[in-house]
Structure 1
Amino acid sequence: MAEAFAPAIGLLAANPDKRRLLHSVLSHFGYRVVFCDDPAQLDCRRLAAITTEAWLLELPEESALSDWLLEHSAVPVLLGAGEIPPADSEDYPRWERRLYNKLLPLLGPVEGGQLPSMLTFKGTTKEVHNARQPARCVWLLGASLGGPAAVKVFLDSLPADLPIAFIYAQHIDAGFESRLPSIIGRQNDWRIINCVAGTALHDGDVLVAPIKRSLSFSPEGRVRLSDTPWPGCYQPSIETLLDQVGGAFAPACGAIIFSGMGEDGVQACRRLRKQGVEVWTQDPRSAACSVMPEAVAAEGLSSRQGDPAELAVALQAWLAQE
């Protein structure tokens, strides 16, 4: 009976050995794996008929199934479980812990589930649940041309266990939106999530702003999605999102403007600075296109500049101080 009430997860893994191992690990965690067949036999129509509470994908980067889920799924989509070390190695328990910590905010803990051996929790459901904190600080990462590479270096240089969540606003054609999570999250432990209405941000999350739909936040900080297009000529509108972040999360928020073309966000950065909120920019020398960060800096609105790795180090220091 307990099995019927366990949180449901769908598993799409192209490699059969990895698929079997992940199915075993997810089951040991206590989750109910509702799909674990060969994804090569699946099309988008059949995919849409599967009822689950989250998806875990281990698919090639060029995958129609991944693209469809990232664009249409009403439940969270987790991209990649990372490289699985040998079961008898010291790294295997760490890998289990990282995977569990990615799943916990999406599905919650399971009464009676087997926790990873290296978790330091005492074992009660309440204590495990509390390990995933609601986001204590939210920063917006705004980018355009050259942004994905810069944001990836930034996230790769930043430990994923910090008390912060990010909203990633990237000017990009809607056809490439579904690939952004796999690009920026492939080699780090951040939880890269697509927007689902009602979602609350937790520490360690990176929420990718949608291109075709506009995004806002409730007074409680939960995601609101609208079919109304973003205002202005930029999709998504960094200007609008900066105001949304300031309104929903100030003073515990900030912004970093990375490589890009145009001046989207300059006036909103001014409003954030008047609130005493940090606004940082990527330095021109490291940016593939320096127009957007330079536009913010030229107005005297950038309180720190650096390359992506330097900004990651600076943010760790800022969080420790704050």
Structure 2
Amino acid sequence: MNETPVPAPAIALLASQPAKRKLLAEVLGEFGYRVVFANEPERLDCAQLAAVSTDAWLLELSEESVLAEWLLEHSPVPVLLGTGEVPDRHSEDYPRWKRRLYNKLQPLLGNPPAGQAPSMSVATPSPSGLPAARCVWLLAASLGGPAAVKSFLDALPADLPVAFIYAQHIDQGFEYKLPQILGRHNDWRFFNCEEGSRLHEGEVMVAPIRRAIEFGPGGEVRLSDQPWPGAYQPAIEVLLDELVKTFSPDCGAIIFSGMGEDGVAACGRMHEKGMPVWTQSAESAACATMPLAVQLAGFSSRQGSPEELAMAMRNWIDQELLVAL
């Protein structure tokens, strides 16, 4: 009995430049995905986008695009923003660009069906084949956090031997949009937390809003049936203690823009054990209450703008982590 072939995941493409739209359609086909929509954005409206049946959107539009804003708010499927500048086809950077693009699509869509493997001159590692993260930092934020954390990650290369857990006080409806929003203009691999998830180098795991988590002996995520204790979702205080328990001493925390004082006491415990706790500077934060509370308590060993903290992270890895490898 012949089995019905499994259709390849579908992608809808919006790109303002015709040449780039054509190239992206070709590359997506090489990967084994189906391009089901590839039109000029200038001729479309939101109602036409709503009628498209797809598994994901790939957008290459201007920052002020009304269509991009509408899709980010209303699309029921993942939206990937930006593919980066495309190198010359004959350059050694071109296969690397293809690999980065595939590594962003694969977590959202899964692998193409058997027999439709991507055609790339550089082998594409699967997420499970990436090196396990030896060093894990928590990026904690509340009001003004997404913009600050994005600026930090945009300024930080994704090939460093580090992974991040991103804890953001935010409405649950935006939890699954954070990877799409923050992954634009950088090569970090974002994913929403699931049971059994493990962190690998170059990854950013978004902490769940409604369900508390802890880590098993191998660093795997264990999702609780219970909500986070206390007033904050997720509870930065709890996550910091879990981070230290599982990944100490190769861990740290950065407290970005936000309201409230969630995590201050846990930052103190982390600081006492000699692990780095950094904070966004008050003048660069949209809301300085949360980082300032850690600073005033004497637990922050470094302050700076998101870009300055990214530079400090590179130096910390060079001086503290790579020396020990």
TM-score bracket, shorter-length normalisation: 0.7 to 0.9
Once the two structures are TM-superposed, the CA of residue 85 in structure 1 deviates from its matched residue by 2.8
1:82 aligns with 2:80: no
Q: SS at the partner of 1:203?
A: coil
Q: Residues 14 and 58 of structure 1 are in contact (CA less than 8 Å); yes or no, is this contact kept in structure 2?
A: yes
Match of 1:116 in 2: 120
Match of 1:52 in 2: none
Q: SS at the partner of 1:63?
A: helix
Match of 1:37 in 2: 36
The farther-off stretch of 218-227 and 277-286 is: 218-227
Q: Deviations over 1:71-117 (max 9, x none)?
A: xxxxxx68346146376474643421312344577858989945533
Pick from 273, 289, 306 the counterpart of residue 291 of structure 1.
289
Pick from 266, 269, 272 the counterpart of residue 271 of structure 1.
269
Q: Structure 1 CA distance, aligned partners of 2:298 and 2:73?
A: 45
C-alpha change, 1:192 and 1:128, in structure 2 (3 Å) is closer
TM superposition score normalised by structure 2: 0.76
C-alpha change, 1:7 and 1:303, in structure 2 (3 Å) is farther
Q: Structure 1 CA distance, aligned partners of 2:211 and 2:10?
A: 25
Once the two structures are TM-superposed, the CA of residue 27 in structure 1 deviates from its matched residue by 5.3
Pick from 305, 310, 313 the counterpart of residue 312 of structure 1.
310
1:177 aligns with 2:175: yes
1:249 aligns with 2:242: no
Q: Residues 281 and 304 of structure 1 are in contact (CA less than 8 Å); yes or no, is this contact kept in structure 2?
A: yes
Q: Structure 2 CA distance, aligned partners of 1:68 and 1:214?
A: 25
C-alpha change, 1:5 and 1:131, in structure 2 (3 Å) is farther
Q: Structure 2 CA distance, aligned partners of 1:131 and 1:7?
A: 25
- Stretches of structure 1 that go unaligned for 5 or more consecutive residues are 48-54, 70-76
C-alpha change, 1:162 and 1:5, in structure 2 (3 Å) is farther
Q: Residues 141 and 166 of structure 1 are in contact (CA less than 8 Å); yes or no, is this contact kept in structure 2?
A: yes
Over the matched positions of the two proteins, sequence identity in percent amounts to 53
Match of 1:95 in 2: 97
Match of 2:70 in 1: 62
Q: Structure 1 CA distance, aligned partners of 2:205 and 2:191?
A: 5
For 2:167, give the aligned amino acid: A
Q: Residues 107 and 191 of structure 2 are in contact (CA less than 8 Å); yes or no, is this contact kept in structure 1?
A: no
Match of 1:147 in 2: 145
Q: How many residues align?
A: 293
C-alpha change, 1:151 and 1:238, in structure 2 (3 Å) is same
Question: Once superposed, what is the RMSD of the aligned Cα atoms?
Answer: 3.5
For 1:96, give the aligned amino acid: K
For 1:37, give the aligned amino acid: V
